[in-house]
Amino acid sequence: MARPVVTLSNEGRQLDRQTASATFPSAAPAVADARRFVRKVLADWGMDEVADDAVLATSELATNAVAYAGTSFEVTCRLEAGEIKIEVRDRHPTRGIDMPGVTATSGRGLPSLARLAASWGVSYDRRSKGVWFRLPRPGADDSAASGSLTGEAPALAGGRAGRERAGRTGPDETAGEAGEGGGQTRGRLSGGVGDVPVAGDRLLRSPTAVESMEDGVAGVRELLGADGAAVLLTERDGRLIMGASAGTATDVSLGELSVAGLGPAARAGSAWVASDASDPTAAALQARSLAAAPLESQGRLTGLLVAVSSVPGRFGEADGVRLGRLADEMSLSLEKARVGELERSWRGWLSFVAEASDLLAGTLDQERTMALVAQLVVPRLATWCAVYNAAESGPDRLAYVWHADETRADGLRELLEHAGAAPPMDSPGPWNGLATAPAEVRAAAGDTATDQVYAFPLIARGRRIGTIVIGRPAGDRFPRSAIELAEELSRRAALAVDNARLFSAQTAMSSALQRSLLPPGIPEIPGLEVAVVYEPAGEGSEVGGDFYDVFESGRRPGGGPATAWRFAIGDVCGTGPEAAAVTGLARHALRILAAEDLSVPAVLTRLNRLILGEGERGRLLTLLHGEIAARRRSDGVTIKLTSAGHPPPLLLSPDGSVREAAAPQPLLGVFDGVEFHTDTVRLRRGEVLLCVTDGVTERRSGNRLLGDGHGLENLLSDCAGLSAGAVAARIQRAVRDFGPEPSNDDIALIVLRAS
């Protein structure tokens, strides 16, 4: 878990100049910690109104610091007279800032920052790079406040008007349908309302907009003395739906009324009056006369404000002019509500991406990552999702399928398995593969076979590793926001899947290497029970530095049974490939040198020279090496051993007393010309010799080590009378239970018991 270092200060003891900073490590959990830090600081300062914007911008910058700079980073919050300034500073000033769609593989980064902040910039010094942004202080009487997302008239950073900002498409807004063409026409008629309507039905999601429409129709009835009034809203396909109504316009079905059926006045953006029911809008509202005015947003039609009467010719030109003024006022009110709804939706979109990134970064299991991707997509973006793995040769392989309706999941999988292969595309696009499935499979899948489908490539580190395919029912077209969000999620998912794939490959390789460094088996030694335990630290992603071995070293002339055996237990400094190289060198060299009938001290001397000969590739090595010989009367064994910088072996007597069985000598890989000697142990029946690595003695629980205060000796003393296997199991269990956290060091032990 990231552990930020936090500093708080009041500069000059002024209440309007405060600073809080925290330093975070280069790790995925640090991004969430940075968000919590910023939210807490702003809450302490009473700035909750801008906390969401600040947290989202900080999240993007912290993600960039971890993903691209790869260093620890510092988050600083400053409260000044009319502004809040937040800066994220990393330790890698020479690396460029990635821009989505150009070089980045994830994140919205600076484009998100530009949208959230009143202003932003990048600063450099000799050792670090900082990206900062400013937000207006809530309630501050400052021109910068117009850029706040929380103000009534949102504006873009750089001073552009809020109305200009509202013209951009938000996460839940579409400037048109993202159909197969992926584009749309934004033509305008001569000086009038655009021929492509705004999705005005989205206003029904805003309580503020609904209240404004309800107040508006009540005001129209009162001002014009109308029998009824209504607000009609446009949908993307041009149809008109009821937004609010009063009087005789209540509970009226509009049928197939659409923008295309409106008269020339409506399409010119002007109010109009109809004296009879021949007007399509009057006919749809079951009225004999009508006054109507268009509602506009960004020069495009949002809807109509209408007054109706059951009397022909009820409204005159003056009524149309009045209604036009009311429509202009309502258009402004609805525009503010629409922009507010878009901003809330956009912040929710960024929050979803940020939280999805945290979830994806939290697992290194490839199968679980793909399952998580599918479950993030469904049902927020699509009705179903399938994830494909790229194969080295041939089509992609279907890896995971998820459907919002679990009863359809099996049918969907069958359909996808018989459909055309997932396209090896480099950019998102529609996919028609379901149409290639056999007719009987399509029939069994039901309506799912006619779903509209989009495919998104999973590209990580310049290589396509798979495809995400999402689908919705044919009548529920994908809005542009869903396509953009799925594309963003696919970029982040690709990195998460690739990281999990690389981790799995590294783990498998490390496990194979680890197995190759361990002995194939333990020989039978007359009069001696032998038990060994080996546990590498962590999840197997790195090869450990601990090793052990027990092997035959001497045979009678003529190929008779062995007369001597050797054992060794050692610990190479460090982990990974370098440590593995020394581990392999030591274990194999011990066997080769022992086969030449070299004594234990001579073996250690030669091994010491071999390690020193490795130069910079060498590693320090602690080693306990001994030779076992059976005694003639079969009353135990004799062991000659040398402890080269290793934890001394412990000898357990049947009465429970414990003592060290060898004197310490220099470790290997430090000095040349070291002379080693042996200590002799006569292991009698019932006595136990315990040999361990420092992963046992240095097992930590808080500030205590297992070996402190003769801890291991006391533990071994309680093992009197147990078999070698039982002693090994008890020591192993005690090491595991000693601390609440998993051990961060390898554990190896050998138990020899005379029988």
What are the pLDDT digits (tens) for 495-506? 888 887 777 777
* 220 neighbors 229 (Cβ within 8 angstroms): yes
Same domain, 730 and 589: yes
CATH at 9:
3.30.565.10
Which structure tokens are listed for 255?
A: 């049928």
Cα–Cα dist 356/574, whole Å: 35
Same domain, 655 and 546: yes
Same domain, 700 and 555: yes
Beta sheet of 452-460, edge-to-edge order: 397-403, 384-389, 463-472, 452-460, 429-430
Same domain, 415 and 500: yes
Cα–Cα dist 698/743, whole Å: 10
Per the listing, tokens 């001597």 go with 564
Same domain, 719 and 580: yes
If we measure between CA atoms, which residue out of 98, 96, 74 comes closest to residue 87? 74
Cα–Cα dist 312/301, whole Å: 27
Mean pLDDT of the chain: 79
Same domain, 711 and 614: yes
| Length of the chain (residues) | 755
* Angle (deg, nearest 10), helices 366-377 and 480-516: 170
The DSSP secondary-structure symbol of 365 reads -
Same domain, 524 and 654: yes
* 2 neighbors 25 (Cβ within 8 angstroms): yes
Same domain, 284 and 305: yes
Per the listing, tokens 């021109």 go with 143
Same domain, 670 and 729: yes
Cα–Cα dist 587/746, whole Å: 17
Question: Which of the pair, 572 or 660, is modelled with greater confidence?
Answer: 660
pLDDT at residue 556 greater than cutoff 60: no
104-108, 648-652, 661-665: lowest mean pLDDT where?
Answer: 104-108
* 423 neighbors 431 (Cβ within 8 angstroms): yes
Residue 84 within any structural domain of the chain: yes
pLDDT at residue 558 greater than cutoff 70: no
Q: At 60, is the pLDDT very low, low, confident or very high (cuts 50, 70, 90)?
A: confident
Q: At 681, is the pLDDT very low, low, confident or very high (cuts 50, 70, 90)?
A: very high
pLDDT at residue 666 greater than cutoff 90: yes
- Which pLDDT score, from 0 to 100, does residue 64 have? 79
Question: Which of the pair, 184 or 29, is modelled with greater confidence?
Answer: 29
Residue 252 within any structural domain of the chain: yes
Same domain, 574 and 525: yes
Per the listing, tokens 């029912």 go with 473
What are the pLDDT digits (tens) for 606-641? 999 988 887 766 678 899 999 999 877 767 899 999
If we measure between CA atoms, which residue out of 753, 749, 751 comes closest to residue 535? 749
Cα–Cα dist 744/240, whole Å: 66
pLDDT at residue 669 greater than cutoff 80: yes
Q: At 576, is the pLDDT very low, low, confident or very high (cuts 50, 70, 90)?
A: low
* Angle (deg, nearest 10), helices 28-44 and 51-64: 150
Task: Give the C-alpha distances (Å, rounded to integers) separating 239 from 184, 255, 403.
Answer: 17, 9, 31
* 617 neighbors 572 (Cβ within 8 angstroms): no
If we measure between CA atoms, which residue out of 678, 698, 712, 680 comes closest to residue 747? 698
Read off the pLDDT of each residue in 577-598 and give the average, rounded to a whole number: 83
Which residue, 482, 510, 538, sits at the end of a domain?
510
What single letter denotes the amino acid at residue 35? R
Read off the pLDDT of each residue in 655-661 and give the average, rounded to a whole number: 94
What are the pLDDT digits (tens) for 343-360? 666 666 666 666 667 766
Q: At 171, is the pLDDT very low, low, confident or very high (cuts 50, 70, 90)?
A: very low
- Preceding amide of 666 cis, omega within 30: no
- Which pLDDT score, from 0 to 100, does residue 158 have? 32
- Residue 715's H or E segment, with its range, is helix 711-717
Residue 167 within any structural domain of the chain: no
Which structure tokens are listed for 582?
A: 């020394």
Residue 311 within any structural domain of the chain: yes
Which residue, 289, 306, 341, sits at the end of a domain?
341
Strongest mean pLDDT among 40-49, 330-339, 384-393, 554-563: 40-49
Task: Give the C-alpha distances (Å, rounded to integers) separating 102 from 425, 455, 691.
Answer: 18, 21, 58
Residue 529 within any structural domain of the chain: yes
Count: domains in the chain: 4
CATH at 334:
3.30.450.40
Q: Model pTM greater than 0.95?
A: no
The DSSP secondary-structure symbol of 175 reads S
What are the pLDDT digits (tens) for 701-739? 888 999 999 999 999 999 999 999 999 999 999 999 998
Residue 468 within any structural domain of the chain: yes
Strongest mean pLDDT among 555-564, 582-591, 656-665: 656-665
Same domain, 649 and 617: yes
Q: What angle do CA 424, 425, 428 make, to 5 degrees?
A: 140
Same domain, 323 and 210: yes
Q: In this prediction, what percent of the chain has a pLDDT beyond 90?
A: 27
Cα–Cα dist 264/558, whole Å: 114
CATH at 727:
3.60.40.10
Residue 189 within any structural domain of the chain: no
Look up the domain containing 281 and give its range.
203-341
Cα–Cα dist 576/538, whole Å: 12
- Residue 249's H or E segment, with its range, is none
What are the pLDDT digits (tens) for 148-169? 323 333 322 333 223 233 333 3
Residue 48 within any structural domain of the chain: yes
Which residue, 510, 531, 550, sits at the end of a domain?
510
Task: Give the C-alpha distances (Å, rounded to integers) separating 394 from 389, 397, 413, 426, 433.
Answer: 11, 9, 19, 17, 16
